[in-house]
Amino acid sequence: MIKKGIILSGGHGTRMSPLTKAVNKHLLPINDKPLIYYSLSILMMAKIKDILIIVNKGQVKTYKKLLNNGRNLGINIKYKEQTYPRGLPDAFILGKKFIGKQNVALILGDNFFYHKSLKYKLLKSRKLKNGAEVFLHKVKNPELFGVAKLNSKKEIIGIKEKPKIRYSNLAITGLYFFDNEVVNLSKHLKPSKRNELEITDLLKKYQLKKKLYANSVGRKGFWFDAGSIDDYNKVNSIVSSIQKKKGIKIACLEEIALKNNWISKKNILSAIKFYGNCVYSDYLKSLI
């Protein structure tokens, strides 16, 4: 059972410059909420309450102003500064003390996921005891991603990083579930040519042990790395469209917490006061 989750929200956001010169990309708005709400909502839907957010040096106060310690959502949020980006597996090295002897989930702070059945997929992944599990999603341009090949048992039997020759159309997204061995494995990874620890190298270690498994976002689901201008705009459009059509709020943290029985309607009233007179508050009012 996975009880710990990490959101990797560091990096310089150079692909979105000059927007990110003044604001961390994970705090940029997606429709009516900061981008960080969407990744945090994924962990909350998986009923993970202990969360570590890894941020750039000097940015903890900014995140705390928005999310504080998470107590208002019935969760526990801690923060860790990253001096400079060293690759995704660095999250497990920085978060060693936080992880302790527990298994852990990792989500990239700029990743967007949506599927009507996503909650049930997440709860299934949370039950992981041994090995690692990654979320995959079919893409039209696999040469731009790390991709995975599966066998009939949905076990990952091969991984290629941005293959020039078609290998698989199943892209490896930014959502992962690991057993506790991930900390030790990450510490022994060697930096790549770009001087970073690579997530594909970490996943291959699990693959060699035949302990790397796959889940799927779903055929009618969405996944985007919202760290580029084009995909950021696409996510904005998708969120706006779904919310208008269905009359819901994607990644409404207070609603998820309320459904999980982590908070009461009194907390919703406090949230309305915190956000002030806005569309998001109007939606929160409909919950009480």
CA separation for the pair 241, 235 (Å, rounded):
10
Please give, one letter per residue, the 3-state secondary structure of the chain.
Answer: CEEEEEEEECCCCHHHCCHHHCCCHHHCEECCEEHHHHHHHHHHHCCCCEEEEEEECCCHHHHHHHHCCCHHHCCEEEEEEECCCCCCCHHHHHCHHHHCCCEEEEEECCEEEECCCHHHHHHHHCCCCCCEEEEEEECCCHHHCEEEEECCCCEEEEEEECCCCCCCCEEEEEEEEECCHHHHHHHCCCCCCCCCCCHHHHHHHHHHCCCEEEEECCCCCEEEECCCHHHHHHHHHHHHHHHHHHCCCCCCHHHHHHHCCCCCHHHHHHHHHHHCCCHHHHHHHCCC
Report yes or no: 219 and 139 within 8 Å, Cβ to Cβ. Answer: no
- Please give the Cα distance from 240 to 271 (Å, whole number): 22
| 12 pLDDT more than 80 | no
For residues 58 and 11, which has the higher predicted lDDT (pLDDT)? 58
- Which amino acid, 141? N
Q: What is the pLDDT of residues 52-61, one digit of tens each?
A: 999 999 999 9
Over the stretch 147-184, which tens digit does the pLDDT of each residue have?
999 988 878 999 998 888 889 999 999 999 999 999 99
| Neighbouring residues of 197: CB distance < 8 A, sequence distance ≥ 6 | 86, 87, 88, 89, 90, 186, 189, 191
Q: What is the pLDDT of residue 85?
A: 84
Q: What percent of the chain has a predicted confidence (pLDDT) above 90?
A: 85
Residue range 267-285: mean pLDDT, rounded: 97
Structural domains of the chain in order of their starting residue, each with its CATH number: 2-135+174-251 (3.90.550.10), 263-288 (no CATH)
pLDDT for residue 16: 87
**pLDDT digits 0-9 by tens, 65-115:** 999 999 999 999 999 999 888 999 999 999 999 999 999 999 999 999 999
Percent of the chain exceeding pLDDT 70 equals 100
pLDDT exceeds cutoff 90 at 264: yes
